[in-house]
Structure 1
Amino acid sequence: MSEERRVHLSRSAPDAYKTLDAFSKTVGRIAGEAGIDDRLKELVQIHASQLNGCAFCVRVHVDRAVKGGLDADLIAQLPTWRESGVFTDRERAALELAEAFTFIHDGGVADEVYDHVGGILSEDEYVALSWILVSINAFNRIAIAGRYPVPPRHAAPA
């Protein structure tokens, strides 16, 4: 089935999509109350979207990250965060949690991950990041299932 004929879930069931969007806004408020800044929030959402292969959500969250002051080098380091020295211990714990939530089907959040992340993040931060990851994984699935397009930003040179 072509992309043009694929069901677009947000348009086909707008009430459900609006509810998910409202959920996402609630999660964002909880994250702010827990001390999760926009930088950390965008880093985990970009990384989860990369892991899921959701080009649409990567684009959305990279744009938000850049608007929020993150630079291209930092964003480019996300796929290699374990080898990179540009992330704080707190960011590294959040990225590890992002991987655990994204690959939850591989045995859940392992005790080692839970203990390691819990030794760095507060319980409120862990809870807030967990909800952010539930939310972005849901959005990734909607965009991937609908094959939401990600066109080039500029026409390629002739």
Structure 2
Amino acid sequence: MSHARKEYTDFEKLAPDVFAAVRSLGQFAAKAGLDKQLLELVKLRASQINGCAFCVQYHVLQGESFGVPADKLNLLVAWRDAPQFSARERAALAWTEALTTLPNGVSDAIYAEVAAEFPEPELTYLTSAIASINVWNRFGAAYRWTPPARKQRANAAAS
């Protein structure tokens, strides 16, 4: 059985400057006006790929609090085969997967798909959100942070 090596709160205490920088990066996309439901889907999908239990649970809880329909949260892992996702969401999820699994590269087709749905400033902020969640995933998975309970949702990171 897995055990936490350090907890999320330890990270904040041990490296408050790093914590603040990563948290700040994660907030830019929402501040720029990107839809919070879309951002939670993107963050959840990257966290699923990266196997970060803390971030998966956190973004499920955040998604619920922002009104993401349960069927989208439940079917996210199979989004390509689920009709619930819009063209914009599909483009963002394809972009997320390409940026999260960089050894596979970012194809011109995926770039064209996402660029058709997101004007350049939005695409830049979307990319920053994907970069941020991948950083959070690296910490959460490496230290095996304990996933937050439903009651702790308000106190967790705003990644």
Q: What is the TM-score of this pair, normalised by structure 2? A: 0.83
Please tell me the root mean square deviation across aligned C-alpha atoms, in Å: 2.2
Give the match for residue 74 of structure 2. 76
Gaps of 5+ in 2: 151-159
- Specify which of 65, 72, 78 is matched with residue 67 of structure 1: 65
- Larger mean CA deviation between 18-27 and 122-131 belongs to 18-27
Deviation at 1:5, TM superposition (A): 5.0
The answer to whether the aligner puts 1:135 opposite 2:132 as a matched pair is yes
- Specify which of 28, 41, 56 is matched with residue 54 of structure 2: 56
Compare the two structures and name the one with the higher helix fraction. Answer: 2
Give the match for residue 16 of structure 2. 14
**1: CA distance, partners of 2:12 / 2:141:** 12
Which amino acid in 1 is paired with 2:143? Answer: G
**2: CA distance, partners of 1:70 / 1:5:** 31
- Larger mean CA deviation between 138-147 and 4-13 belongs to 4-13
CA change 1:152–1:24 in 2 (3 A) is: closer
CA deviation digits over 1:17-53, x for unaligned, max 9? 12221222234312x1xxx211111110111111111
- Larger mean CA deviation between 92-101 and 20-29 belongs to 20-29
**2: CA distance, partners of 1:128 / 1:65:** 19
Q: How many aligned positions are there?
A: 148
* Greater C-alpha Rg: 1
Q: What is the TM-score of this pair, normalised by structure 1? A: 0.83
- The secondary structure found in structure 2 opposite 1:141 is helix
- The secondary structure found in structure 2 opposite 1:70 is coil
Which amino acid in 2 is paired with 1:23? Answer: L
- The secondary structure found in structure 2 opposite 1:85 is coil
- Specify which of 27, 30, 36 is matched with residue 28 of structure 1: 30
Give the match for residue 42 of structure 1. 40
